[in-house]
Amino acid sequence: MGRTLIEKIMSSHGGGNCGPGDVVWIDIDNRTARDFAGASVVGNLEKYGGDSPIAEKSKTFFTFDCNVPANTIPYANNQQRIRIFARKHDLKVYDVDAGIGSHVVIEEKFARPGTTTVGTDSHLNIMGSVGAFGQGMGDVDIAYAFKTGKVWFEVPESIRVTLEGLPADGTEAKDIALAMLRRFSSHELLGKSIEIYGPWVQSASLEDCVTLSSLATEMGAIIALIPPNDNVLEFFGITRNEAVYADSDAAYLEDYTLDIEGLKPLIAAPPSPTNVFPVSEKTDVKVDGVFIGSCTNGTYKDLKYAAELLKGRKVAPGVMLKVVPATRATWARLLGEGLLKDIFDAGGIVSNAGCGGCASGQIGMTGEGEVQISTSNRNFKGKQGKGNTYLAGIGTAVASAVLGRIASVHDLKEVL
Amino acid sequence: MAHDMILKGRLWILSENGKLFSDIDTDMIYHNAHLAVTDIDKMGQYAFGNLEGYRDFSSQARPGDLVLAGENFGSGSSRQHAVDCFKALGVQAVIARSFGAIYKRNAINSGFPIIELPDLPDEPFNQFDQIELNLEDGTLSAWDNRYQGNPMSEVARDIYLAGGLFQYAEKM
């Protein structure tokens, strides 16, 4: 019997001949903690870590992205506590300038196809985008990983999802993720490892894979693994033989197909990422603010697309447009290519790299009754403030900012 | 008391519109405004501080209480706070139809019992009934009602009995 992608990754990391339901100790290649919960990781290590709290320094690091630079004293204290611990144990800190840790780990090519990464970020399963295992965990788990290099894991059952057909022009990776949330809600894939196949993922860019995989958490899945395509292999400079793929005769708990042929832009209305509608059904909703960024839609490709759409256009009067590049490298590239100027000239605010709108209000919160279009991944009640957050892709976000109401990128063509 | 396999106490049933409250995410359990708190004892006051209908939970809960919810309890972020806030209040266990994957891990690792009862009806008991939860066989009972859930997994039980992941590892 063949094996699924997650079973192969776990097997190659100490899991032996494991199958679904087996609890195995797996070796972790990258052990990370953020400024959020990182201080508690340090606390656990100080309490339980003994004389040698770090198993392998070269595989262990901190990434600050949640509250950067700290805008509350408790966060500032936590970050400083981490820095002091890191200096003492000679660990690298990707500090407040670095950007979103999960993206840094891919940019630095630490999270390569087939590897394992853990950290205190529930979207760390974003590593599924490169055919690697990643998992967000709490501070106890992560402290344990820092100290021993291992975590226990119950091998999940695998579900294969095949996306059939190709979406319409102007439809993005985010819309496909929303289509999956609409179909599967947050229950059907709960606790499962999903593998995504089909013509769209075969030719998707690395950035689009990141967007799609980043919504696995909202689907309730352990991870959404995308078998590395040519674009991803090229990014890492490796061949198919150096990546890991599921066996052709692997056994899946379920085998679903989802028709995305001709799919048009979608939007998730509050209060849940699974509350999905066609954008065309929500065009009478007036918009107060737009956030573009996050680990879901904050890549160079995403922001370049936003800048191109904004070039020569203006944000509607009274609408805030807040843009946060995912990483410092993204920032540098946008800066060098003059793309930030297009965003600025259109009336946008550009903040330093980080988690932006998702965390503790790095770039502001919403007030009572405020309608925000966000390219992020969560719109739960109270998550980004008192207002009402809708989740959408870049095209919808920009069009809504320019038109002052929910709109798709197709509506934008009428402007200018 | 700390590592009993049979827990007895008062049951909080979390419901919404007559149904067991589902998809209670970690921001409803423990809002991100309080994430910088690292002292477990200070986390209790924020438990369910963002959960409609239960914002006064922290002041009303008593040590020994148990909590019951619907599907996908603890979805969302990886914050350990969402488990620790219950420990701080002396809540003995959380019971739900299902749990978010990360929440489940966090609970297991900190030795906090959670039990899944996938087939629980919407009104299994009355609010604040005295119930008995058997971690060994996964049953929840009060009066004449008895519901069968999933027993604790072996790893979860071992870590619970050891008192947490680090304590468990020391015994390995």
Distance in Å, alpha carbon of B39 to nearest chain A alpha carbon = 9
Q: Kindly list the residues from chain B whose CB atom is less than 8 angstroms away from the CB atom of residue A125.
A: none
Please, is A51 exposed, middle or buried when counting C-beta atoms within 10 Å of its C-beta (0-12, 13-18, 19+)?
exposed
Q: CA of B30: how far to CAs of A23, A65, A133, A203, A321, in Å? A: 29, 20, 27, 40, 29
Flag if B76 and A120 touch (Cβ within 8 Å): no
Confidence of residue A4 (pLDDT cuts 50, 70, 90): very high
Residues of CATH 3.30.499.10 domain(s) within chain A?
5-153, 268-412
Least confident of A95-99, A261-265, B101-105: B101-105
Chain A touched by B155 (CB under 8 Å): yes
Check pLDDT > 90 for residue B11: yes
pLDDT in tens, A152-168: 999 999 999 999 999 99
pLDDT at B154: 83
pLDDT at B172: 52
User: Cβ neighbours of residue A157 under 8 Å, at least 6 residues apart?
Assistant: A20, A21, A191, A192, A193, A253
Sheet of A116-119: strand order equals A92-94, A60-63, A30-34, A116-119, A133-136
pLDDT at A23: 86
The CATH number of the structural domain formed by A158-259 is 3.40.1060.10
Q: What is the mean pLDDT of residues A218-224?
A: 95
Distance in Å, alpha carbon of A146 to nearest chain B alpha carbon = 12
Nearest CB among B50, B100, B155 relative to A382 is that of: B50
Sign of the alpha-carbon dihedral angle for A376, A380, A383, A386:
positive
Q: Evaluate whether residue B1 is within a structural domain.
A: no
pLDDT in tens, B116-128: 999 999 999 999 9
Confidence of residue B33 (pLDDT cuts 50, 70, 90): confident
Q: Evaluate whether residue B125 is within a structural domain.
A: yes
Check pLDDT > 80 for residue A416: no
Give me the domain span that covers residue B72.
6-171
Q: What is the mean pLDDT of residues A96-115?
A: 98
Q: What is the mean pLDDT of residues A403-413?
A: 95
Average pLDDT, chain A: 95
**Selected residues 25-44 of chain B with any CB under 8 Å from a CB in chain A:** 25, 27-28, 31-33, 35-38
- Higher-confidence residue of B42 and A384: namely B42
Confidence of residue A393 (pLDDT cuts 50, 70, 90): very high
Least confident of A204-208, B24-28, B74-78: B74-78
Q: Evaluate whether residue B140 is within a structural domain.
A: yes
Q: How many domains does chain B have?
A: 1
Nearest CB among A135, A186, A360 relative to B35 is that of: A360
pLDDT in tens, A65-103: 999 999 889 999 999 999 999 999 999 999 999 999 999
Check pLDDT > 50 for residue A341: yes
pLDDT at B1: 41
Confidence of residue B2 (pLDDT cuts 50, 70, 90): low
- Higher-confidence residue of B80 and A360: namely B80
CATH code for position B22: 3.20.19.10
pLDDT at A382: 77
Please report, rounded to a whole number, the percentage of residues in chain A having pLDDT higher than 70. Answer: 100
Q: Evaluate whether residue B12 is within a structural domain.
A: yes
Flag if B166 and A154 touch (Cβ within 8 Å): no
Q: Evaluate whether residue B123 is within a structural domain.
A: yes
Pair A370, A386: CB distance under 8 Å: yes
- To the question of domain A5-153 being in CATH 3.40.50.300, the answer is no
Chain B touched by A16 (CB under 8 Å): no
**Selected residues 115-154 of chain A with any CB under 8 Å from a CB in chain B:** 120-122, 124, 135-141, 143-144, 148, 152, 154
Check pLDDT > 90 for residue A182: yes
- What is the SS3 assignment for B48? coil
Nearest CB among A48, A144, A222 relative to B101 is that of: A222
Q: What is the mean pLDDT of residues B69-96?
A: 94
- To the question of domain A268-412 being in CATH 3.30.499.10, the answer is yes
pLDDT in tens, A133-143: 999 998 989 99
Predicted complex ipTM exceeds 0.85: no
Q: Kindly list the residues from chain A whose CB atom is less than 8 angstroms away from the CB atom of residue B80.
A: 37, 40, 138-140
Chain B touched by A33 (CB under 8 Å): no
